[in-house]
Amino acid sequence: MLLALLACTSPPDSGSDPTDPADDSGLPALDPTDTFPSFYGEVPKNLLVVSIDTFRRDLMARYGGEGLAPFLDGMAEQGVTLDQHRSCANWTFPSVLCFNHGTGNIDAGYVPDLSDPDNAWAPEDLPTLATRLSDGGWRTMLVTSNSWFSMDRNTDVGFETSERPDDRRTESVFGMGLDRLGETVELGSDRWYLHLHIKEPHPSYNPPEAYLAGLEGLPPVDYDLTDSDEQYDAGDAWPAMSEEERAILLQHLLVRYHGEVQWMSDQLIQGFLELEQGGYLDDTLVVFWTDHGEQFWEHGEQTHAYGLNVEENDAVAFFWAKNIVPGQWDGATSHIDLAPTILSLLGVPSDAAITGYPAGEAPEDRVLDAVSIARHGAMQSVVKDGWKLVYRWQTGERWLYDTTDDPAELTDLYDPAHPRAVELEAALAPRIEALVPLTTRYTPG
């Protein structure tokens, strides 16, 4: 199964059907578990989590993209996808906290501020997914290429080992993770949880030259886009540029971003091939998720940590295992739902500190919210039944979107009297009130 998938040439095929009693593999027929996701035989006992930085969901073929990451497309096709998944924020630190804690950051009592160095240390008293699994007997390991998710910010609570490679390459993260898995086997650990966080794609976008053929023939730009500071400078200069200058800069950035996505995908293929060769995927649940997306001026900015619109806020989340029953969940989910889903599958009790729901168990009238204190100050959003309200504290602006008919969120329908605006304002109001005491730098506009 896996080798066919890694070749990215055809759907995975194990050569046997575990549900077919007449299968010539010699293996007995296996019934699916009564869990969601479901697995033929038993739920895997080990956990591998791969979180991907700054990846736009609409790059995946499943969500209308051109298939720039065929490895992820293949794994999602053979796994269980959460097809209406959103991040709880628009930059790494708060997004990781939601995943780790299984609760929203307002409910946790701490919302990080990108512009405040004194507000950059995760709380130590909140249990995490890693804490709960470590207490349950799993050996917990983190390898990360982003300082927001590391010992630098105390976002590695619960991990017995926490490391960062010298560079951010996906292959470096996987190489270090394979080393830790080898040590785990030598120690005789019965169960393990390895989290690999890869910082590709992310500004600046610097794949090898082989992935930048699209730059050939493009007019040059006045910025060194291999440098993240200059990339941000180019974004700041965007409003004063001519339409022609904007078009050229956008082409350069998209070629570089797409090239890094393709490079990341190729490195994932090699990393998973090595995991397979080491036998580390044989009894392992794999969870993929993305912390946030990336904007290319769809809503006036480039990169991320600006707004809570679709290109920054929508995210990827899916599960894979060798014995998983493929499927999908179409209900709305957020990062806070991943930890409770994992804990439920692994048979680890949840607790009152977790406010997310195992996938498929949230109430139908659920309201999902997101919050970010970043480049445009404090911003919040609430989503219900496909309608989304975004609120910016600094200016008091509000935007209302029908994400079913307008998935790109390009048409603002906000009117204080709009029935959906009234409904979502009522849901947003207590979230605003709860955020007020958590920031001293901003007040609602």
pLDDT tens profile 161-187: 999 999 999 999 999 999 999 999 888
Expressed as residue numbers, the domain containing 398 is 376-440
Same domain assignment for residues 171 and 312: yes
Same domain assignment for residues 418 and 298: no
Give pLDDT, residue 28: 52
Contact 91, 304 (CB under 8 A): yes
Of the candidates 309, 305, 314, 207, which has an alpha carbon nearest to the alpha carbon of residue 253?
Answer: 207
In a domain, 28, yes or no: no
Same domain assignment for residues 208 and 274: yes
pLDDT tens per residue, range 211-238: 999 999 999 999 999 999 999 999 999 9
Q: How far is CA 323 from CA 2, 19, 36, in A?
A: 11, 11, 13
pLDDT tens per residue, range 354-402: 999 999 999 989 999 999 999 999 999 999 999 999 999 999 999 999 9
Same domain assignment for residues 404 and 314: no
pTM of the model: 0.94
What are the DSSP calls for 90-143, one per residue? SSHHHHHHHHHHSS-HHHHT---BTT-TTS----SSS--HHHHHHHTT-EEEEE
- Name the band, by pLDDT with cuts 50, 70 and 90, for residue 20: very low
How many domains, in total, are found in the chain? 2
What H or E segment, with its residue span, contains residue 344? helix 338-346
According to DSSP, residue 78 is labeled T
Give pLDDT, residue 376: 95
Give pLDDT, residue 25: 46
Take residue 138 and report the two structure tokens written for it: 């799993």
Same domain assignment for residues 336 and 425: no
Q: How far is CA 126 from the centre of its chain?
A: 21
Give pLDDT, residue 117: 78
pLDDT tens per residue, range 409-426: 999 999 999 999 999 999
Give pLDDT, residue 152: 93
Better pLDDT: 192 or 12: 192
Give pLDDT, residue 29: 73
Arithmetic mean of pLDDT, 329-358: 96
Compute the CA torsion angle 181, 186, 192, 198 (nearest 10 deg): -10
- Name the band, by pLDDT with cuts 50, 70 and 90, for residue 4: low
Q: Which bin fits 64, alpha (ψ -120 to 50), beta or left (φ > 0)?
A: left
Contact 191, 347 (CB under 8 A): no
Q: Which CATH number does the domain housing residue 175 bear? A: 3.40.720.10
Three-state secondary structure readout of 214-277? HHCCCCCCCCCCCCHHHHHHHHHHHHHCCHHHHHHHHHHHHHHHHHHHHHHHHHHHHHHHHHHH
Compute the CA torsion angle 292, 427, 98, 274 (nearest 10 deg): -50
From 359, 389, 423, the end of a domain falls on: 359
For tokens 């709960």, what's the residue? Answer: 132
In a domain, 10, yes or no: no
**Residue type at 61?**
A
Better pLDDT: 187 or 133: 133
In a domain, 1, yes or no: no
Over 50: is that where the pLDDT of 210 sits?
Answer: yes
Mean of pLDDT over the chain: 93
Contact 44, 342 (CB under 8 A): no
Over 80: is that where the pLDDT of 257 sits?
Answer: yes
In a domain, 62, yes or no: yes
Arithmetic mean of pLDDT, 107-128: 90
Q: Which CATH number does the domain housing residue 403 bear? A: 3.30.1120.10
Take residue 169 and report the two structure tokens written for it: 């390459």
Same domain assignment for residues 340 and 432: no
Give pLDDT, residue 119: 79
